[in-house]
Amino acid sequence: MEPQTAVTTSQMWTATLAAAVIVLVLGFVATRRVRPAFPPGLPAALVLVGIVGFTSLYAWAAWTFWDTCYAAVVPPWGRVAAPFVGVVDGGLGWVFWWIARRVSPRHPVVPFLALGGLLSLPGHLHGIYSWGLLEKCSVVRGITPASALVFGVFEFAVYWSVVLLVAHGLVRLRLGSRART
């Protein structure tokens, strides 16, 4: 069933601007709260929160938007495989934090979010150029590849901002509860 409306390139650029503003706000909060050496359990929490977050996100997207978009370009087994891709993507939280701390020991949040944003490129490039997503999926048919790719970078930076802040909060809660016992 064809949807009544499709996203336009102009709307994608507007959404990109909105996502960029969200990343700036969340990134600012994260740079003020998350210190490079603290908390010691952050890498493990990043993996846990990343896996839960991305697995949930990909499962929700695969089941919610399958008929309106993904079925046109993804093989049927992709609907079941989507959560497993979330496990891989979420598991990269530790790697991103490790790299970010080496690139910028005093301010690892910025490279962490940049790496998280860049994670969108392989999947989106594959979807656009190998599967023909922008031609076959009626929801995004006709938008420019540039608008989709740039939006994807900021979209994923938003996701990783949330993962970082939630992981940091969980570790602080755990450390705080330990101090009270």
Give Cα separations from 57 to 16, 115, 180 (angstroms): 19, 19, 35
- Residue 5: phi and psi, rounded to 5, are -130, 155
Q: Is the pLDDT of residue 176 over 90?
A: no
pLDDT band per the 50, 70, 90 thresholds, residue 158: very high
Domain extents for the chain?
42-180
The C-alpha atoms of residue 69 and residue 147 are separated, in whole angstroms, by: 18
Highest mean pLDDT out of 60-69, 106-115, 170-179: 106-115
Q: Is the pLDDT of residue 162 over 80?
A: yes
**Least confident among 37-41, 112-116, 152-156, 176-180:** 176-180
Averaged pLDDT for residues 58-86: 91
Highest mean pLDDT out of 24-33, 68-77, 170-179: 24-33
The pLDDT tens digits for 111-141 are 999 999 999 999 999 999 999 999 999 899 9
The C-alpha atoms of residue 168 and residue 135 are separated, in whole angstroms, by: 40
Radius of gyration of the chain (CA): 18
According to the model, what pLDDT value does residue 143 have?
A: 96
Averaged pLDDT for residues 12-33: 97
H helix intervals, the chain: 9-33, 42-64, 77-103, 109-118, 120-125, 133-136, 145-180
According to the model, what pLDDT value does residue 6 have?
A: 86
Mean pLDDT, rounded, of the chain: 91
Q: How many residues does the chain have?
A: 181
